[in-house]
Amino acid sequence: MTNPILTPRQREIVELVANGYTRDQIARKLGISPRTVTQFKMDARHRVGYRLGVIVPSTPMLTALCVKYGEIDIYA
């Protein structure tokens, strides 16, 4: 990826969400609060929306756009 949209931490969190982890599971795994996970997701939605010129109304839309544009990998 030559010019990534997300920060490394945002990418890590969105990948975990896309792979089925809950907010609480992500928080425990990364050693951060659930509220911080929510904030990272919200920041990622704004960042992707700004860069692509679209409104990203939900986390599923965020993950779909990130997969489409090669921002994250989905594990099988």
pLDDT tens for each residue of 7-39: 999 999 999 999 999 999 999 999 999 999 999
Q: What DSSP state is assigned to residue 32? A: S
- CA geometry: angle at 43 spanning 60 and 49, to 5°? 60
Considering the domain delimited by 8-68, tell me its CATH architecture. Orthogonal Bundle (1.10)
Q: How confident is the model at residue 73 (pLDDT cuts 50, 70, 90)?
A: confident
Which pLDDT tens digit goes with each residue over 31-50?
A: 999 999 999 999 999 999 99
What is the band of 75 on the pLDDT scale with cuts at 50, 70, 90? confident
| Number of C-beta neighbours around residue 37 at 10 A | 23
Q: In the chain, where does DSSP find H-type helix?
A: 8-18, 23-30, 34-52, 59-68
Domain boundaries, the chain: 8-68
Q: Is the pTM of this model over 0.85?
A: yes
